[in-house]
Structure 1
Amino acid sequence: MTSLATAQRSLADPGVRHPLWPPLTSGCPVTSTAEVAYALDVDYDYDRVPADLFERPAAHGLERWAPLLPPLAAPGLGEGNTPLVELPDGTWVKDESRNPTWSHKDRLSRVAVSAAVASGAAGIVVSSSGNHGAAAAAYAARAGLRCAVFTSPYAPPAVASHLRAYGATVLTVPVESVRPLMRRIVGELGFHPVSNLTDASHTGHPFGPEGYKTIAYEIRLALGRAPAAVYLPTGYGELLFGVAKGFQELARLGRCSSVPRVYGCEPSAAGALAKAVRTGRPAARVAVGPTDAYAIDCEINSYRGVVAVRDSGGAALTVTDQQMASAQRELAAQGLWCELSAAAGLAGRRAQGTRETDGPVVCVVTSSGYKDIATATVPAYEPMAADWPSVAAALGG
């Protein structure tokens, strides 16, 4: 199957169109302003989508959905087709920790690294606190590309080990130097950026979020319909946008009768999207307070998140570390171990407290508990006496 992608268009004004190539990684040059960088969206020849695309069985690998993705020039790692697990109260959990590098970022990275391969880039460069960098490094290694990852000195130590295992070059510099250095790597070394380059709000890669649409396709395939609502951990809002767009495409193609409300769930220590929605602005910048949800503590939002919330009738919610920790424990009690940030969707669902009456509810869990800051940072074992009374006491006997 081949891609039916046709063009890039501005999210600020879909009438402003650009050719599909090259990917405009710094936002729309026509509609962006000094204050707001507007991301690009990808358009498709929807009239040519195979009639049986959504009737084929589930399968690992994004090539399953190739007609509705940008060209997949990079080889895959069996990403996607993650399980949908039902909790006792009927809430469904889409567990993205089952992807090859244990997070949802594998979907984005398969598509973004494909753009680098198709562009003839010498390598890729990414700024990431963890999940994005690991996924980008893995797909770069698979494609035979060099990979440079700017990461925070406060990221979990396991992140550096994960990145270096794939052969990535790990770069740790002051945060204010990251984007200027990324732009030089792109301009002088011919690397392709697979994360954000802009300072005026967030644009990210124009093709990458298309990979997240496949989460919506898989949910519809598993449930046989669109859910009433989807709650998602939210940083810059790329996941939020991709999932919302996926359901919009399903409705456009007659595969579901409604589009679910999407809820972006951010740490209350940040909340840039919530502020943008509350103030009616395309983007907002906030001071980030202390939080262990390091994967989604973003100081600025992307306009993508505003579009997703607005067009789906959803909302931007904020949750505390305590609420995320409670959701994390609830998931673990059901056999699902995720990092704190990944539990934000369920935390938002629980904090909202509403009962949907028009269909099922899905919470997306984005990444594994192996990615958490606290993982493996405390002594794992306490020696104990090797006698039956001690063992029985430990088991409450």
Structure 2
Amino acid sequence: MSQRSLGDPSITFPLRPPLTRGCPRTSTAELAYPLEVDYDYARVPAELFEQQAGPDIARWAPLLPPLHAPTLGEGGTPLLEIGGVYVKDESRNPTWSHKDRLNRVTVSAALGEGAPGVVVASSGNHGASAAAYAARAGLPAIVLASAASPPAVQSFVRAYGAKVLTVPLSARWPLLREIVDRLGYHPVSNQTVTHTGHPYGPEGYKTIAYELFVQLGRVPAAVFAPTGYAELLYGVWKGFAELRGLGVADDVPRMFSCEPATGGPNARAVTNGAPAAIVEVGPTDAYAIDCSVGGHRGVLAVRDSGGGAVLVTDGEMREAQQELARQGLWAELSSAAGLAGHRKLGLDFDGPVVCVSTSSGFKDLGVGDADVPVLEAWDDVTDLVG
């Protein structure tokens, strides 16, 4: 295994240590290029994709970095048919989001490097997941959260014993870098001007592609994914690209990034033919994917798969969220962006379409704040039921 630059794939580095500040040879002060993990694909067992899609991503270990951290049972999430599309329900992971796949891998990297702890800048799913996997591995965790993050989610993070520091949004990444430099904590989120994140992170997400291939018995025609920094989008695309490269599948799905219409750095970069973009963002309740900073991974996934970038409004996400709820799935507003993007685009595809739903509705803003009427008489019941 080695690390390969996405700025210039001919440039490689040893697998260790993880280069968590982007490619040192291709990145500039204005643009940082991520790295990915490369494998000796000739040594991948032919029967790897004959197994079932169950929990614990270690079942895909020949195509993952070393997994030193113990599992919490991540992966093996259900695929449900809803309204003519398939929904991959990632809320069934241990901390109720797709981030568990990433953090099994990145916390493993922290253990492999002998780090005294992990640090993450997150206001939601990523922080909760990193805290849980760090606790399971016996490592301290520091989570840098913004004041706007839901109190319930901050309580969720603290339940795992993490130290939660509430800081201004603009201070999160600079403070994270100081914690890395001064305390030696292992960073499991971004440190660079455009997003690079952890080079091992998307390796966890690509297990979604392996599961989809097993669950469908084929490659889907298209995948629509909620997109913030686009690590999920890229990881799923890479997983399918590996299946094609190994001769297991003949093609890859078209990948569609689905971002809030109030920002959309991946859509901006794709539209402008740029490697990455930084944009101004407006107000949105889809805080989990409300990103001003994009990265090169999402551009590669969309461009190389022949997909596209879709911008969706909060109203369109709410309609998709309500559609999922009517079918028994309580999804976070951000999680409904994939289905909202598919409904908005309105394209027909020659084959199954998958919309990834990333997280539980528990993580939304305002959950638990509504006043609930107290029923005192039968007339109250009939008034309510109709």
Instruction: Identify the TM-score tier after normalising by the shorter chain.
Output: over 0.9
Alpha-carbon distance, 1:37 to partner: 0.4
Residue 185 (str. 1) matches residue 175 (str. 2): no
Tell me how far apart the structure 1 counterparts of residues 47 and 107 of structure 2 sit (CA, whole Å).
Answer: 28
1:325 is aligned, of 318, 322, 332, to 318
Tell me how far apart the structure 1 counterparts of residues 316 and 174 of structure 2 sit (CA, whole Å).
Answer: 36
SS at match of 1:94: strand
Alignment of 1:340-355 (within 5 A): 340-355=333-348
Preserved contact between residue 202 and residue 234 of structure 2 (Cα < 8 Å): yes
1:292 is aligned, of 270, 285, 292, to 285
TM-score, normalization by structure 1: 0.96
Tell me how far apart the structure 2 counterparts of residues 264 and 58 of structure 1 sit (CA, whole Å).
Answer: 24
Alpha-carbon distance, 1:58 to partner: 2.4
Partner of 2:365: 373
**What per-residue deviation string (whole Å, max 9, x for no partner) do you get for residues 9-64 of structure 1?**
10011100000000000000001111110000110010000110000122210101
**What per-residue deviation string (whole Å, max 9, x for no partner) do you get for residues 172-223 of structure 1?**
122232222211211111100000011x211000001110000000000000
Give, as a single letter, the amino acid of the residue that structure 2 aligns with 1:284: A
Give, as a single letter, the amino acid of the residue that structure 2 aligns with 1:369: G
Alpha-carbon distance, 1:129 to partner: 1.4
Tell me how far apart the structure 2 counterparts of residues 188 and 293 of structure 1 sit (CA, whole Å).
Answer: 33
Tell me how far apart the structure 1 counterparts of residues 61 and 44 of structure 2 sit (CA, whole Å).
Answer: 10
SS at match of 2:321: helix
Partner of 2:123: 129
Give, as a single letter, the amino acid of the residue that structure 2 aligns with 1:385: E
Residue 9 (str. 1) matches residue 1 (str. 2): no
Alpha-carbon distance, 1:104 to partner: 0.2
Partner of 1:72: 67
Residue 45 (str. 1) matches residue 37 (str. 2): no
Residue 386 (str. 1) matches residue 380 (str. 2): no
SS at match of 1:150: strand
Tell me how far apart the structure 2 counterparts of residues 193 and 302 of structure 1 sit (CA, whole Å).
Answer: 17
Partner of 2:103: 109
Partner of 1:149: 143
Tell me how far apart the structure 2 counterparts of residues 221 and 255 of structure 1 sit (CA, whole Å).
Answer: 11
Tell me how far apart the structure 1 counterparts of residues 37 and 337 of structure 2 sit (CA, whole Å).
Answer: 28
Tell me how far apart the structure 2 counterparts of residues 57 and 280 of structure 1 sit (CA, whole Å).
Answer: 39
Residue 244 (str. 1) matches residue 237 (str. 2): yes
Partner of 1:231: 224
- How many pairs were matched up? 386
1:56 is aligned, of 48, 51, 55, to 51
Partner of 1:91: 85
Alpha-carbon distance, 1:166 to partner: 0.3
Preserved contact between residue 54 and residue 77 of structure 2 (Cα < 8 Å): no
Partner of 1:219: 212
Residue 335 (str. 1) matches residue 328 (str. 2): yes
Alpha-carbon distance, 1:117 to partner: 0.4
Tell me how far apart the structure 2 counterparts of residues 187 and 385 of structure 1 sit (CA, whole Å).
Answer: 60
Alpha-carbon distance, 1:134 to partner: 0.2
SS at match of 2:158: helix
- The unaligned stretches of length 5 or more in structure 1 are 1-5
Alignment of 1:356-371 (within 5 A): 356=349, 358-371=350-363
Partner of 1:310: 303
SS at match of 1:63: helix
Percent identical among aligned pairs is: 64
SS at match of 1:54: helix
2:20 is aligned, of 25, 29, 40, to 25
SS at match of 2:48: coil
Give, as a single letter, the amino acid of the residue that structure 1 aligns with 2:255: V
Partner of 1:3: none
Tell me how far apart the structure 1 counterparts of residues 288 and 383 of structure 2 sit (CA, whole Å).
Answer: 39
Tell me how far apart the structure 1 counterparts of residues 370 and 84 of structure 2 sit (CA, whole Å).
Answer: 35
Tell me how far apart the structure 2 counterparts of residues 300 and 58 of structure 1 sit (CA, whole Å).
Answer: 33
Preserved contact between residue 144 and residue 172 of structure 2 (Cα < 8 Å): yes
- The unaligned stretches of length 5 or more in structure 2 are none
SS at match of 2:49: coil
TM-score, normalization by structure 2: 0.99
* Misfit runs of 4+, over 6 Å: none
Greater Cα shift, 156-165 or 114-123: 156-165
